[in-house]
A and B are shown apart, each in its own frame.
Chain A
């Protein structure tokens, strides 16, 4: 591994950057916010080491780094949820203390979180103004009409058409993200921090968000934007700061950097982001779906997956991709149609899938893929229990050997098999979810967003693993919102719209344009 030679804190080209605004305010001579030498240690982990960063009004500052690089800790320091061990924060040149979220709010710092900070059974308006509801004439009582009016105003501002009285738990993920954005904007923030805000948004919603960011910039709001998507980094960023292992590696201008260069800075070595793979001639049909409809709303789904191929399933968020995966796997109730696995009729239950050698790697790793409080070993053996121990009795040695083999094969970084799953990084957790199906000798895999929330290094590993699987004769159905992944990795892809499959693209036709065209067609 060759570590990049830039020392932390070294003056960088980007350091001299000044915003190009028309406002000739004296405030513009100093950064809106400046962090100097911020360090933070958690028990056993050095999360941040002497990180310095400055943001000007009207700037969009992209923050990059792998998981564990210190981005979220830095954000938490900024919003007052975590206090730094050392270092100082300057606001408009004056040193300030951010000891609590209330302090941060007073300074006009607002954060849009990726893990939602919403209360499910409160309505949109109460969520947007949680802890800040307008007071009415009677002391202690909320002025409801003003609350709803203000909320409507903020929602209009971001062009989000939803009833402010709607309870948040009834909204989809994308809409919840919009509420989260509305919540941050309603604070009239001068400094706005966004953590992968487009992760759950459709392209159209993302466009709307970008337009809003442009408007905020013009109003002089400083924006810190965390993203894993290279396209966004270059399209939106005024400057880019890369963090690695809790240190600032470099701050640079978009014009100074290429995507490969950024990845090298983040990972500390070169990583190929085109995920090369060997395309082979597919073998026999493994999965055949005919006219599948399910209670979740999908209907008339036809698709096949053959041995040795990776089949993409794409479309906008909400087009029914996850529902198709769940229906095929037997997680949702099927109303009509049939699923054949290796020629046999699928019994319509997850248990039956496991028995037939079909695996599902669900979208939400933590809530659906892992028993976080149990050990790595427990999780790895979960799907294989009946076939590994046919007598019904658990032999510790057998189990340990099987799990150990997968740990080695997938390169899962864990202290031991007795480590709790929650202590592992996202990438390693994802490997456990995949690994449990390898222990169970599954041959047909359904991946639902296998790389969401996983950093670039781990992403490449996951794709290499998927390639290995198909090379060994497995079949893969893969859902991804990142069209570039589909284009690079898949043999074929189905495109969904409005809970139906609207088209199939062969390898030669597979391009982001074609996917978008099919997915959006009215």
Chain B
């Protein structure tokens, strides 16, 4: 083989085509779509999902799955809201969210890495537990009356830039650096690609797997902070079902469920695609039942295109 760089194959072509079709289509169909204000809308609306989908990419890279994330975000949102009411301190509030999330991550990681329970089963169990705890903590009520410093997280802006945008830019930068510029990132790829390689490199795969789930939990806490700020409330069922959106975004972005093959930027695009689809259909006033169909069709079509390109096994 020569040193010629092989042409890098385009990743997630289905998603790319879908994005182009949607962007052009919505711009044609609705004059409001391509406005700066609406673009900002889409980004702000997608911020919580992105904060969950980025660490989900890590989890899926390890050949794992986290079904609990929606329930955990909900749990974190009520926990941090209660702390916010009690202390009024943004630092304490954020810490509470991240801590509760990380604890949920410890449970997931412990079940998966140490008791070796398949991720699907383990996180299905945690889902139930987190949902229960959120209900018990609140008695089923949303927790309102958050102080203004918490509301600032979604509603405020710094130097004219809305805070959620700063948060997701920072989140992406952190997660990108972590995945591609640190030894930990290489370990994440190895967890899915070849765990034996980690052992032989003197790295405990269990500890690394644990770290991935704890990281995911901590980000769920951060997502909960943004969500609570957006709702001005902690809500015990606010993010139920978000895990499937997150998994869909990650998969749309070209991350495979096997062998540690993935792409973080793809996840960003996947989240954007889901946001754009919902926003565009709303602007076109497409009925909700048709919207539901469209989401399914987007997912299937994006992968169909992929299939026509991939070589036979």
Residue positions of A touching B, CB distance < 8 A:
79-81, 100-102, 105, 111, 113, 115-122, 126-127, 130-133, 140-142, 144, 161-163, 165-166, 169-171, 175, 295, 332-333
Contact = CB atoms under 8 A, between A and B. Distances in A.
Interface residues of B, number: 30
A105 B197 CA distance: 14
Contacts of B312: 295, 332-333
A120 B259 contact: yes
B194 A81 contact: no
A121 B1 contact: no
Contacts of B158: none
B260 A101 contact: no
Given A144-B181, A175-B1, A119 B199 contact: no
Given A140-B182, A141-B181, 14 more contacts: A117-B201, A118-B197, A119-B186, A120-B194, A122-B193, A131-B201, A133-B183, A133-B186, A141-B182, A144-B181, A161-B2, A161-B3, A163-B6, A166-B5
A144 B185 CA distance: 13
B198 interface: yes
Contacts of A111: 200
B253 to A, nearest CB: 14
Contacts of B1: 161-162, 171, 175
B202 A101 contact: yes
A119 B260 contact: yes
Interface string B31-58: 0000000000000000000000000000
Nearest to A155: B3
Interface string B1-16: 1110110000000000
Top 5 nearest A-B pairs (CB, nearest first) are: A131-B201, A101-B202, A102-B202, A119-B193, A119-B190
Given A101-B202, A141-B177, A121 B196 contact: no
A127 B193 CA distance: 11
B245 interface: no
Contacts of A332: 312
A120 B202 contact: no
B224 to A, nearest CB: 26
A132 B201 CA distance: 8
B110 interface: no
Contact of A105 (B187, B193, B202): B202
Contacts of B311: 295
Nearest to B196: A117
Interface of B: 1-3, 5-6, 177, 181-183, 186-187, 189-190, 192-194, 196-203, 259-262, 311-312
A104 to B, nearest CB: 8
Contacts of B182: 140-142
B1, B3, B6: which has the most chain A beta carbons within 10 Å? B1
Among B5, B192, B200, B261, which residue has the most Cβ atoms of chain A within 10 A? B200
A100 B260 contact: no
B265 to A, nearest CB: 15
B202 A119 contact: no
20 contacts: A101-B199, A101-B200, A102-B202, A105-B202, A117-B200, A119-B190, A119-B197, A120-B194, A121-B259, A121-B261, A122-B186, A126-B189, A130-B186, A130-B190, A131-B183, A131-B201, A141-B177, A141-B182, A166-B6, A175-B1
A105 B199 CA distance: 12
B3 A131 contact: no
Contact of A170 (B6, B190, B193): B6
A28 to B, nearest CB: 30
A121 B181 contact: no
A100 B202 contact: yes
A161 B5 CA distance: 11
Nearest to B177: A141
Contacts of B262: 121
A354 B267 CA distance: 43
A111 B2 CA distance: 27
A507 to B, nearest CB: 36
A120 B187 CA distance: 12
A161 B189 CA distance: 24
Contact of A101 (B3, B181, B183, B201): B201
